[in-house]
Structure 1
Amino acid sequence: MPKRRETLKDSEQEVRVFRNRSLLAIVLVVLMSAGLVARLAYLQIVQHEVFITRSDKNRVRVEPLPPTRGLLLDRNGQLLAENRPTYNLTIVPERVDDLDATLGLLVDILELPDTDVAALKTRSRQRQRPYQSALLLSDLDEEQIAQLAVNRYRLPGIEVEAQLLRYYPDTDIMSHVLGYVGRINAEEVKTLDKGNYAGTHFIGKTGVEREYEAVLHGQAGLRKVETNARGRVLRELGRTDPVPGQNITLTIDKKLQQLGYELLDGRRGSIVAIEPSSGEILAMVSSPGFNANLFVTGISHGDYQALRSDPDLPLYNRAIRGQYPPASTIKPFEALAGLENGVITPNTKVYDPGFYKLPEHERRYHNWLRWGHGRVDMRRAIVVSNDTYFYNLAHDLGIKRLSEFMHRFGFGEDTSHDVYGAASGVMPSDEWKRSRYGQVWFPGETLSVGIGQGYWLSTPLQLATATAVLANRGDWVAPHLAKRIDGEPVTPPKLKQDIELAKEEWWDLINTAMEDVMTGSEGTGRRSGQDLAYRMAGKSGTAQVFTLANDERYNAAELEERLHDHALFIAFAPIEKPEIAIAVIIENAGGGSSHAGPLAREMLDAWLVDKKQDEDSDESSVAGEEA
């Protein structure tokens, strides 16, 4: 048997191993403790100010205070746009653990369509800065508020806030003038002043609301509040009050605006009335209108599609965006162009066989009266609206001189001071056609422009503006909508140079001819000029919607309604000291003298006769009370 080796215990070795391990453990503990101490020192000493601020933010919160939007009133102080109290639903996403689940629960509680979850999620991102509330729903009803109150504990970060909401009491007749406010969208958030719009959920989108947004909005304030762990406000620590927006008194007369809307009676068209001496827009009607209040709280998809698909285009502001051939309404202006350029004299006569032919051309350009008016001078050409005379005048003037002179009256330009979105129309010329179409100008196109057809397009606002300048004998005052801002008068800048003619009496000649249009035995507007209580100047126009072939006759009975001619009429009164200038356009109505003329007459009567009688009646009542 081999001898078994016995292993002896080495106590010294074990002690060394134990000592080394203990030492290593001690070093590790010391190092870790040192790290903890260093970290605590860094947090408590170096980062003291940072964390004390964060702690205060958890306890103290700064909340924005949105300003009250300024009111809109008509020239007589009648309220056109007000603010009514309402309740809105807001969310602070940072205080929500699961945004999708919370929004889904919100939809269930309020019994909203499931498709609204995506829309609510999009709205929750539309805000200026973190920890600021975002608007989810506007104008909550009592039942919705009750449901939210009962389920408040299930909806952290969601609040019901009392705010003022824009409301338009006469929305249909004023919708295009005032425009509307709507929710601030994602694109607008990027450009807005984050401080001034903190807590504000609405902004002007169109019309006066858009043009004067900076004036109407005001300045945001803020308040510092103490909250508990759940975000509930315990007390207010400080406040900077917001500065409310300024009230704007418009130049619009509510009664005249309403009359214009009623006269159009749902037909597609526009009526614009201006006070010549001041440029104040008394009425700016576009028919049909729409309910602007739907856009304030967020219009539904169905309602919006119904408006967009309506063939009458209720969202289209015809007064400033509608562009129509001005037709024969421009003949008084063209006569002035002929006088000023020495092409005609007041006694220049042209023989009208019922048509006009360019030299060395066989094509006939027909007068509206097929058998013609015989020999006509300038005055009679305006009174009977003779086309042949103005074909000849346009040819002799040439498109260059004709276009340049019409620009002096504002055609082809936006000459308004504060009308948001006003179109410039088209005042054609040879340069314009080369730039637009890359084509040369033809002599026959000058003839079309000579009777307000062809490429020439004008808005109702432009026609009314040009008529006001004509009434002013060339003095230019920019048309505008704001009369006073917080009581301070608004004076528009001089946007165009006054028109000075070589002979001042030419204004009288044109005015007399336009008066004969209303009162003369041959005047095209004589039906609307009967029993006048004042001297009225007017001119009718009938604009073709499509071009007739040569020698083809227009027959409305054979055409669908939307291919009928447009009816136009311009007027101003009283001639000796004009107080109102007006332009009326009714789409596809037919002759301007028979359809648009009576509307212009009623508007002038309301302003010059009925209004004066009302003022006299009010003065008599006041005098009686004082006595």
Structure 2
Amino acid sequence: MKQHFPLKNVQQEKRLFRSRIFIAIGLVVLCFSALIARYVYLQIFHFNEFATASDNNRIRLQPLAPARGYIYDRNGVLLADNYPVFTATLSKADVDDIDNTVKALMPILGLNQEDVDRFNSRIKTAKKTERVTLKLNLNETEIAKFSEVKYKFPGVKIETQMTRYYPYGELFAHVIGYVGRINDKELKSINKDVYAGTNLIGKIGVEKYYEDLLHGTPGNESVEADAHGNVLRYLGRKDPVRGNDLYLSLDYGLQTVASEQLAGRRGAIVAMDPRTGEILAMVSSPSFNPNLFVSGISSKDYTALRDNLDQPLYNRALQGVYPPGSTIKPVEGLGGINYNVINWGTKIVDPGYFHLPGDSHKFRDWKKGGHGIVDLNKAIQESCDTYFYTLASQMGIEHMNDWMRQFGFGAKTGIDLPNENSGLYPSPEWKMRTRKAKWLRGETISVSIGQGAFTATPIQLAMATSIVSNQGNHLIPHVLSSSKGSKPFPIRNAPDGKVVFNGTEDDWLKMREAMVNVINSGTGRGIRTSAYQIAGKTGTAQVKSIAQGKKYNESILTERQLDHGLFVGFAPADNPQIAIAVILENGRHGGAAAQLARPVFDYWMVQRKNNPIRPTLHQVTGSLMTAGIQPGQLPSGDNILQADPNAVPNKDKNKPKAKPPHATAPSAPQAEITE
């Protein structure tokens, strides 16, 4: 039996086939559209984002720290230099387990806990590709140990970086200061982009005050690196700009002479140019070696400096506050003329003491029996206390305060160094505010001879003396003479105002003559010289209070209870070129301080012109060894002794609180004070 099959529907099959083709084509088009859309999304709309992410796997932007600017004295003697050291650095982009890596490196690199803590603080805020310092100034043994196991520590490198050293150690320590490792507090306030790759920052002195000028501008370089952080090739570079070179007004020779006078003593000497306000020398004794602080001072060394009874870390020239004693009498005498209380002919009879009307208390003169008939010239020449007791009682504390502040007492001078002390010129308002008590008339008498609550710093005394010498031109002391580099900085070497004085120019000249008499035949006659004329004033400040009616007995006092000796002066008297302030702690009398000033005057007025003092190679080498630096580490070709102040040094710019001494004084002088 035959089976019959229906005929095929050709048209229906064609329609089905065509629909399948259209569906397949649609799916292909849809897939290609999605692929194209994704390609557009990645390559056009997000190209920069993903290109950067891709390049970061192999291309890195590494910061280049700028070299610090050099610091010179006025003659081009190099006071702060840079030298290369080997430094261990780590990049967190190339290290998975930073903590264990650092722990393993401790015995190899000789890391102590301070190094680790400092590194941990910095690595937390560092950029991923930034290299953070583990340890500065590696020695040969540490470098050799690391070289043997380098393959175990991808991302850790030994690099050459520039650091600081001070050729003359203690000589300029308090003025120039030092740099040190950036600490946690500084890390929070600095611009991290500006300090990328930098370990050091100014801590005190010129290094801190002019940090922005000295630091320079960082650069960077683009490198291609492998997975281990090793540089394969350099792709581009923006050179860093070295910081400005600073030329200070300090004179190496004068600083040396002043330092020699205070050797083994406690005190300060400040010398300045009364025409410009430039600081010529500033010495605080004892001093310290600033090189110890650059790579991180040990706890033992710092404790020894901090706990030293002589306080070498304390800058007595700027921060030490002392009763100025009789050194302020020339200023006070001019104040009496200003307020028409006295003139040059005003005389008193000095019996050796003074008492206020209606008060039996005696304010004694330093000279028992008194000075007889005294006018202003003689009062300055012989430092007659009674004359100034009388003047103060008539002038009053308000007038005294207004006048003395014109000469800088009771306020910071504005010198371009950090941490200056303002001293204190007391007033009724000050006493009520701080001690909740009324001002007593006897306190005015005490203040009149630089005692009581009146305190001043050596820099204030130098400024006030300069103003007297230049006939009332007010000056702001400064140590920066010029700045050369990419950052312009104006320097003002001129008076910034004038004392308001109701007297005449002749009054200034007569006061100058009285101060000359102090040196020629008065309390400062021990430093008289025929080579040039000195004008000056001695002073003595009590340290130990002596009760009323008791006699000052030096033999029963300890060495640190003896009176301070002070001296201020200028030379040559008829055309002042240098003004000096000296404080000799426990020096007993002002004449001793004057003796220290004489060699400083002699050097500036006589020796400097024909036989200036210049540093020797032996001095520099000795300081290097003290700092743990071998002379061979210095860049070849560097002239570390002297440079042309008009030339830029020939160096590769792209290479990698202690308690202040404060002399306490009685509220009123009650014992003999020998000037």
Give me the whole-angstrom Cα distance separating, in 2, the residues matched to 1:329 and 1:221: 53
Q: 1:259 to 1:450 in 2, by over 3 A?
A: same
Q: Deviations over 1:432-476 (max 9, x none)?
A: 212222221100000110000011110000000111111101012
Aligned residue number for residue 93 of structure 1: 92
Aligned residue number for residue 416 of structure 2: 418
Secondary structure of the equivalent of 2:57? Answer: helix
Q: Deviations over 1:70-113 (max 9, x none)?
A: 00000000000000111112222343222222112111213445
Q: 1:48 to 1:507 in 2, by over 3 A?
A: closer
Aligned residue number for residue 467 of structure 2: 469
CA contact (8 A) 2:62 2:129 kept: no
Aligned residue number for residue 31 of structure 1: none
CA contact (8 A) 1:269 1:287 kept: yes
Q: 1:172 to 1:127 in 2, by over 3 A?
A: farther
Secondary structure of the equivalent of 2:316? Answer: coil
Q: Deviations over 1:338-394 (max 9, x none)?
A: 111111111111111111111100111111112211221111111111111111111
Secondary structure of the equivalent of 1:95? Answer: coil
Q: Deviations over 1:510-555 (max 9, x none)?
A: 11111111112xx0011111x3311110100010113221122222
Cα distance, 1:489 vs structure 2: 7.1
1:208-357 mapped onto 2 (5 Å cutoff):
208-357=206-355
Give me the whole-angstrom Cα distance separating, in 1, the residues matched to 2:98 and 2:132: 13
Give me the whole-angstrom Cα distance separating, in 2, the residues matched to 1:613 and 1:317: 32
What residue identity is the alignment partner of 1:86? V
CA contact (8 A) 1:123 1:136 kept: no
Give me the whole-angstrom Cα distance separating, in 1, the residues matched to 2:218 and 2:284: 35
Aligned residue number for residue 445 of structure 1: 443
Q: 1:394 to 1:231 in 2, by over 3 A?
A: same
Aligned residue number for residue 27 of structure 1: none
- Farther-moved stretch of structure 1 (37-46 vs 121-130): 37-46
CA contact (8 A) 1:248 1:485 kept: yes
Give me the whole-angstrom Cα distance separating, in 2, the residues matched to 1:216 and 1:46: 44
Give me the whole-angstrom Cα distance separating, in 1, the residues matched to 2:491 and 2:229: 47
What residue identity is the alignment partner of 1:66? A
Give me the whole-angstrom Cα distance separating, in 1, the residues matched to 2:124 and 2:273: 43
Give me the whole-angstrom Cα distance separating, in 2, the residues matched to 1:477 and 1:73: 23
- Find 2:188's aligned residue among 172, 187, 190: 190
Cα distance, 1:612 vs structure 2: 2.5
- CA-atom RMSD, angstroms? 2.3
What residue identity is the alignment partner of 2:59? V
Q: Deviations over 1:98-136 (max 9, x none)?
A: 2222112111213445x4575255344365533312222
Aligned residue number for residue 81 of structure 1: 80
Give me the whole-angstrom Cα distance separating, in 2, the residues matched to 1:556 and 1:134: 59
Cα distance, 1:584 vs structure 2: 0.3
- Find 2:533's aligned residue among 532, 535, 540: 535
Aligned residue number for residue 602 of structure 1: 599
Aligned residue number for residue 516 of structure 2: 515
Aligned residue number for residue 62 of structure 2: 63
1:116-265 mapped onto 2 (5 Å cutoff):
116=114, 118-125=116-123, 128-265=126-263
- Find 2:356's aligned residue among 351, 355, 358: 358
Give me the whole-angstrom Cα distance separating, in 2, the residues matched to 1:128 and 1:228: 21
Q: 1:558 to 1:49 in 2, by over 3 A?
A: same
Give me the whole-angstrom Cα distance separating, in 2, the residues matched to 1:497 and 1:470: 11
Give me the whole-angstrom Cα distance separating, in 1, the residues matched to 2:118 and 2:154: 16
Cα distance, 1:484 vs structure 2: 0.9
Secondary structure of the equivalent of 2:370? Answer: coil
Secondary structure of the equivalent of 2:568? Answer: strand
Aligned residue number for residue 5 of structure 1: none
- Farther-moved stretch of structure 1 (606-615 vs 403-412): 606-615
1:460-609 mapped onto 2 (5 Å cutoff):
460-486=458-484, 490-491=491-492, 495-520=496-521, 523-529=522-528, 531-593=529-591, 595-609=592-606
Structure scoring higher RCO (CA < 8 A, sep ≥ 6) equals 2
CA contact (8 A) 2:338 2:501 kept: no
Secondary structure of the equivalent of 1:273? Answer: strand
1:109 matched to 2:108? The reply is yes
State TM-score, norm by structure 2: 0.82
Q: Deviations over 1:212-260 (max 9, x none)?
A: 1111111111110011111100111011111111101000001111111
Give me the whole-angstrom Cα distance separating, in 1, the residues matched to 2:115 and 2:608: 54
What residue identity is the alignment partner of 2:523? T
Q: 1:615 to 1:568 in 2, by over 3 A?
A: closer
CA contact (8 A) 1:127 1:134 kept: no
Q: 1:157 to 1:540 in 2, by over 3 A?
A: same
Cα distance, 1:496 vs structure 2: 4.5
CA contact (8 A) 1:410 1:465 kept: yes
CA contact (8 A) 1:415 1:495 kept: no
Cα distance, 1:497 vs structure 2: 3.7
Q: 1:404 to 1:45 in 2, by over 3 A?
A: closer
Give me the whole-angstrom Cα distance separating, in 2, the residues matched to 1:268 and 1:205: 24
Give me the whole-angstrom Cα distance separating, in 1, the residues matched to 2:57 and 2:127: 17
What residue identity is the alignment partner of 2:604? W
Cα distance, 1:494 vs structure 2: 5.5
What residue identity is the alignment partner of 1:560? T
Q: Deviations over 1:396-416 (max 9, x none)?
A: 111000111001111111123
Q: 1:94 to 1:187 in 2, by over 3 A?
A: farther
Q: 1:358 to 1:462 in 2, by over 3 A?
A: same
CA contact (8 A) 2:94 2:228 kept: no
1:361-380 mapped onto 2 (5 Å cutoff):
361-380=359-378
Secondary structure of the equivalent of 2:318? Answer: coil
Unaligned runs of 5+ in 1: 1-34, 617-627
CA contact (8 A) 2:278 2:493 kept: no
Q: 1:564 to 1:310 in 2, by over 3 A?
A: same
Cα distance, 1:275 vs structure 2: 0.6
CA contact (8 A) 1:331 1:390 kept: yes
What residue identity is the alignment partner of 1:60? I
Cα distance, 1:175 vs structure 2: 0.5
Aligned residue number for residue 12 of structure 1: none
Aligned residue number for residue 428 of structure 2: 430
Give me the whole-angstrom Cα distance separating, in 1, the residues matched to 2:366 and 2:496: 37
Cα distance, 1:477 vs structure 2: 2.5
Cα distance, 1:187 vs structure 2: 2.0
State TM-score, norm by structure 1: 0.88
Q: 1:120 to 1:327 in 2, by over 3 A?
A: closer
Give me the whole-angstrom Cα distance separating, in 1, the residues matched to 2:421 and 2:362: 34
What residue identity is the alignment partner of 2:281? A
What residue identity is the alignment partner of 1:518? I
Secondary structure of the equivalent of 2:583? Answer: strand
Secondary structure of the equivalent of 2:474? Answer: coil
Cα distance, 1:596 vs structure 2: 0.5
Give me the whole-angstrom Cα distance separating, in 2, the residues matched to 1:133 and 1:93: 8
Give me the whole-angstrom Cα distance separating, in 2, the residues matched to 1:45 and 1:383: 90
Q: 1:465 to 1:126 in 2, by over 3 A?
A: farther
Q: Deviations over 1:552-576 (max 9, x none)?
A: 2222221111111111000101111
Give me the whole-angstrom Cα distance separating, in 2, the residues matched to 1:83 and 1:118: 25
